[in-house]
Structure 1
Amino acid sequence: MVDVGSQVQGNYWFVGAYFNDRNPQDQTERFLADGVWENGFDDQLLDTVKSMQAGDKIAIKSTYVRKRDLPFDNHENLVSTMAIKAVGTVTRNHGDGHFVDVDWEPLDAPREWYFYTGRSTIWQVKPKNWLSEGLIRFAFQNEPQHLDRFRNDPAWSARFGDADLTLKYDFAWTTFYEEFATELLKFKDNRTALLEILSDLQQKHGVLSYLTDKNSEGASQSLTDICPFTVLATFNRGITSLKRTALAGDWAKALGVSTPAPVSFDGIPLVNNMNSWFFQYSSDQGRDDIETLWNVFEAALDLAKNPDEHERIKFVEAYDAARVLPQVKTKLSMGLFWSRPWHFLPLDGQSRSYLKSELMLDGNLQNADGPKYLATIDLLSAKFDDAEYAVHSFPELSWTAFLTPGASPAESTTGSLDEEIVEQASVVPLATYNVDDIVEDGCFLLPTELQEMLDRWRNKKNLILQGPPGTGKTWLARRLAHALIGTKDLRSAIRAVQFHPNASYEDFVRGWRPGPEGQLALVDGPFLEMVERANAAPDVPHVLLIEEINRGNPVQIFGELLTLIEAGKRSPREALHLAYPRSSDETVHVPSNLYIIGTMNLADRSLAIMDLAFRRRFGFVSLEPAVNDRWADWVHSNFNVSMSELKDIQLRFASLNQTISDDPNLGTQFMLGHSFITPTSEINSFRNWFEAVVATEIGPTLDEYWFDNPEKAHSLCQELLS
C-alpha cells in the first residue's frame, strides 16, 4: 500500500540557494556536498528556519520567468517558473535560525514547475488543495504537472488557457506594456537618445507639449533628463484611446517594441493630467531624483524576473527611496503596474477603494512602504490561487475595480478622460446561475429543496444555515447567494464576514478607529458598506454572509440595526439614528435588496444560546449529513470510484453517525457531515485518500468527542477502515 502520510501529511519546504547581496552565488553544490541547508541572512527568516523539524521534506528551488521553449502555448506571455534542483529530508535543526542538516537526493537535472510558484527564499507548502498537493507530488514523488488544469484555472486562464475556456476579460494590452518596459530599460544609461525620441514625438503629437522644463526664473526650456515612469505616463493619462494608441505605437516603434500597441485600455489606471510627471522641474530636483526612479524601475523588472530574497531586498530599498520623492507617492505603484502588470499591485484611488470595500484589505495602503507593499502583493498572490476568490490577478483586480460601483478615485482614475467623447467599457453578458448549477457543483440536495430555501430567504430576507460540522454550510451559503443574485459574476454584490467572541458593533456597523495620522476617525464597518452598496444598485440583490454567526453576541453586534433587518421594516420610513452618527440628522435604513445569510455550527460547545429576538428575524434551515445516493453518484462520476466501495463507505459512515447520535453526551448535532468524505481535488487513490482523512480529520474529531474514552474513538476509526 502507498504510504498515505507521505502524500498528505507533514511539512514541505521549498528553499532558495542564494545568500544575501554579500554573497549572491548559487550555493546548491555546497549544500549537497555538506549535507546542509543554510539561511544566509543575518537577521531574517530566523524563526521560520527554527520551525523546521527532523522528518520534514525540503527541496532546493530557483524561481524565475520563462517566455520561450515551454511545453505549452504561452501566447507570448511570461510564465512564472520554479526549477526543483534537489530534494531531501531534514535530519536535524541546529536551532540557530541558520543551519539544518539534510539528507539530500540530488537530481540528474533541474525539473521545471510552472504557474504556482514561491517568491520568497523559504516557502512552506502544506497539502491543503490540488495546487499544493500537485506541487508536492511533482517535487517529491516525481509525478508530472497537470499543465492543462493549471493553464485553464481562473488564476491563469486569461493568459494561458484554451480559447474556449478563457476568461471574459481581455488583457492583451499586458504583452505590449511588458515588452515596452523591457525595451525602455535599455535607455537607462542613454537618456540623451531617449530625449531625442521625445523631441521627435513632441513635434508629431501635440499632447506631449506639457513635457517642457522650467528654469529657476520660470522660463521654459527643453528637458535635460526623464524617468521611465514619466515616459509610460505619456500614454496613460487623460487622453482618448485613439490618441493613446497612436502615441504608444510611435514610442514603441522608436524603442524597438515589436508587439502592436493596444487599441483598448479599459481597466488601466491613469495619472491625472495635472499631475502626470514623476519628478520636479530641474530647478527643484534633488541631484539623484531621476536616477532613483530608474533604479526602482530596474529593480522591479529584476524582481519580476527572479523573485529571490536578495532581489526583494534590493527592490524594497529602491522602492522606499523613490516613494518619498516629490511628485511620486502612490503613482509609483501605478508605474510598476504598467511595467509588469502581472507582478505589481496598482494603488490608485479606485484600486485602493476596491481593496478595502471588496477584498477587505486596507491598513493605510496609500502610505505603504516597500515591505508592506511586497507583503500585500504576496498576500494577494496567494489568494489569487483560490478559485472562490473575487479576482485572480492584478490586471483583473484593476479591471474589476474599474467596473465596481462606488469606487472613489483619488489622485488618479481608471479609464479614459478627455474633452472629446470617450467610448464606454463594453458590457459583458453575465452568466446565469441557479439551483441546478448548485447541484452540478456538487450539492447532494434536490433542486426542489434548494428552491424552497431560496424562496424562504427571499421572503424572510435573513436566513441561517445550521447543522453539524462538515455539512457544507459555508459552501452552500455562497452558492445560494449566487443563485439569489442570478449570477456568479457580480462578486461585488457579496461580502463575507466572520463573527467571533470579540466582534463588536464598532467592528461590524461603525466606530472610531485610528486614522493615518494617528487621529481618530469614524469608520463604517462591513454592514454599512453593504447598505451603501445595495442602495447604489437597488435592482441587484446584495448578500452579506456571516460565518459562525453565533460565535459572537449578535444582539450586541447588530445594535439598533437588529430592528431594521426585519423583513417588514426594510424601508426609509423605518430609518433610525445610529449610535455613532456622522451628523445630527443622519438616519439609516436597511434596503430591501440586502439579504443576510449566516452559518451556525450546532456542535460547538463554546457557543451561547441565541437571543429569541434575534432568532425571530431569521429563517432557519437545518442541514444534515448527506452521504446519500446523490453523493455516491457524484463521487463515482467525478473521481472514478467504484459504486461498491462507495456503498460500503455509506454504511460505515451511517453507522458512525448513529453511534454519535445515540450518545447521551453528544446527539445529532455532533454527527459528521459529508464534507469529511467528499474529495475536492484530484486524488490518485480513493482508498489512500480516505484512510488519510480518517487519520487526520475524523480521528481527531472523535478523540475530542470521547476525550475520556480514547479506546472507543480508536475503535470507531478502525470500523471505518476495516
Structure 2
Amino acid sequence: MQSAQRNTEWISFYEEFADSLLRYMGNRGELVSAIQSVFSKAGLKLPKLEAENPPADIDPFTVIGLFNKGITDKNRKTIMGAFAEEFGMSSPVPESFDGVPVLNNLNATFYRFRDDASRGENDIDNLWTLFGAAITFADAKTEENKDVFSSSFDAVKDLKGNRWKLTMGLYWIRPYSFLNLDSRNRWFIDEMSGFPEDIRAEVKALREVPQASEYLSICDRIAATFADGDYCFSDFPSLSHEAWIVSEKVNEENRKAASDDVATDEVLTDVRGTHYWLYSPGSGAFLWDELRDRGEIAIGWEQIGDLSAYASKEAMKQAMKEKIDPSKPYKNAAHATWQFANEMKPGDIVYAKRGISEVIGRGIVTSDYRYVPSLGKDRSNVRSVEWTHVGTWEHPGQAAIKTLTDITPYKDYVEKMEGLFSSYESEEEAPESAYPAYTKDEFLDDVFMSEEDYEELSFLTRTKKNVIIQGAPGVGKTYCAKRLAFSLMGQKDASRVMMVQFHQSYSYEDFIEGYRPSGSGFELRKGPFYRFCKKAEVDSDNEYFLIIDEINRGNLSKIFGELFMLIEADKRGVGLNLLYSDEEFFVPKNVRIIGMMNTADRSLAMLDYALRRRFAFFDIRPGFDSDGFGAYADNLDSRQFDALIATVKALNAEIAEDETLGEGFCIGHSYFCNIPNGKADSARLSTIVNYELVPLLREYWYDEPGKVKEWTQRLRAAVS
C-alpha cells in the first residue's frame, strides 16, 4: 500500500523541547517561574495546575500538556513560540498539529492536586524519573537503560487519572520509540484487518495500562510488522496519523448522523419538540442573582426596542447598525435576539452558565417573549423561567461564549448537560405541552388514501407493532408514515416520533450503542434507538413511533444485533444484555416501528426472511382515485392539470403491465402535490414533466427509447 502522507514537522520541536525540560529536573522552582514568564509573554492566562496556582512543583509531561489539549491552534503556536524563546530552542514551531494526540481539558495534569487523597508524596519525582529514563532508553536501547525505564514506568503507570495518557506523554517526547496507546490508536489497531491477529487481540484485550514489559513488547512487535506488512504506515508517527485520519472521518459521520435523532423541525416541519438552550445572564453572569430571584432570563439590545416588531433577523441586524454602530456586522447578535424572541418556546430547557467552564442553573421556559423597557439596561427583553436547579456544576468541556446557543442538535452534549442534574431529587419535569389534535379525518384529507386502506394500515401497526410501507416513487410514503403516527396518537406530538434513515454503512454502533471519538479518545455513546426506547419506557401509557426511511438499504441483523428478536410483538418487554455495556435492555411495548421502502429500487437484493417475518408489509398505491386527491384537483380547477393526471394514469397502466417493471414502478401522486390554487399552469406543470417524469421514464425504459419518446410527447401535449 502507498505510505500515508503524514505530519512529522512537529517531531523535531517536541523532541528538542523534551531535551530542554531535562535541564530543570533538579530545579523545578525555576521551571515554574519560566512557565509563568511564558504565559505572561503570550498574553494568556496560566491554566489551573494545582490547588494553589501557580504550583510549587510540576512534572515535565504536564508542561508539554500545556500546549497539547483542547485549545485553538493559534494559542498552541503562541505558547510554543514563547517556550522556544524562553528555552533558546532552534526547532521551528509546527504549523500543523494533525494527528498529534491531545489531553482532555478536564484532566490535563499527570498528577492529582495536593488536596486529593490519592496524591502520593513522590508522584511528581517519579514522573520526572520516568521522563529522563524514557529519553535515555530511546536514544540508547541498552538492557541497562531498558531496566531503568521499566522500573520507573511501573512506578507511575497506576497513578490515578493517568491511564493511557501516560503512553501519550511518552509518544510526545520520542514518537519513533514509544507507541501512544490511547483509545483512538487501540481502536484503529483493532480495526486493521490485515494486522497480525495476535497483536490485534492483545491490544483489544487491554483494560488498563500494562506493565512495562508488556508495553515494550507490544511496541517492538508492532514496529517489526512495518517492514514485513503492506501497510500505509511505516512507523509509530505514521500509524498514529493514519488512526487520526480514519477516526476523524468516523467523527464527521457521527456528527452528520446526529440529525438521525431529530424528531422536530428538520423532520416534521409542522410540529416542534423541546429545545435546549445554553444561556449567559450577562457578562460574567452579573445578572444571575437578580434574574434567578425574579424567575426570568433576559437579553440586552434594548437600543432596538421591542424585538417582536422585527420581521426577520436581517431587519434586526440593520436596526443594530443604524442605532448602535454601522461599522459592526451584528450577525451573531441578530441571530441570538431573533432566537430569543421567536424560536425559544415555553417548555424549552435553559442552562445558565458563567464563563466557559461553569454551569449555575437549569430551568424551564414558562412564558412567551415580552418587552419591558422599565426593567432597564440589559433587562428589557425577558422570558419567565422556572428554575429547577440552582448551584454550581463543572461544565462538560468548554462552553460556547455566545449569550444564547441552541444546543438541541447536539444530542450527546444535551445528554451530558442533563446528566449534571440527574442525581438531584429536586429535579422537576417540564410541564406538558398542548399539541394540536390530529384525527383520522385529517389524515384522509392530508394523505390521499382510501378509508379502508387507512383502517387496515392502522390495524397492522397496532397489532404487529412493526410495519413496512412499500410503494412506487412519489406515493408519499414518508408523508404518510409521519401522519399515520400522529393520527394513531390523536395529536401532533413530535416528541414521541423519531425518524432515522438506514444505509449500507449504518451499524449497531450508530443505532444502539458504540464507541465514538471524544476529546480524550473514544467513549461509549448510546445511539438514537436506545435513547428513544428509554424515553418511551418512562411514558408507557402513550405510543411512540420510530420511522425508518430506506429500511431495506440497511443490514437489519447488523443494525439491530441481539435486539432483532426483541422487536417482535410477543418479545416486547423481554430483556437481553447489550453488546458493549453489558446492560439489560428491552424494547418497550408502546414503541411502534414504521419502515419505508421503495419498490422501484433496482439496486436492492431480496429481503431476508428475518425481516419479512418480523414486519407486516403494506402496499401504498398512487392516490389519484382517492377522494382527497379528487377534492385537491377540483380546488386547482386547471384543465391542464386534469389532462396531465389522466395521461399519468394511462402511463401507470402501461408501466404496471410491463413485465420488466410492474406496479411497484408506477408514478405516485406526490409529484403533483403542494401546487397553490391558481398556479397549476402550463409552465409549472411542464417543469414537473421535463425535470421529474421524463428522467424517470428514461431510467425505466433505458433500452426502449421509442417508448420514452412516445410518452414524453403525450405528457408534454397534456400540459401545452
TM-score interval (norm. to shorter): 0.3 to 0.5
- Give the structure-1-normalised TM-score: 0.46
Structure 2-normalised TM-score? 0.46
Which of the two has higher C-alpha Rg? 2
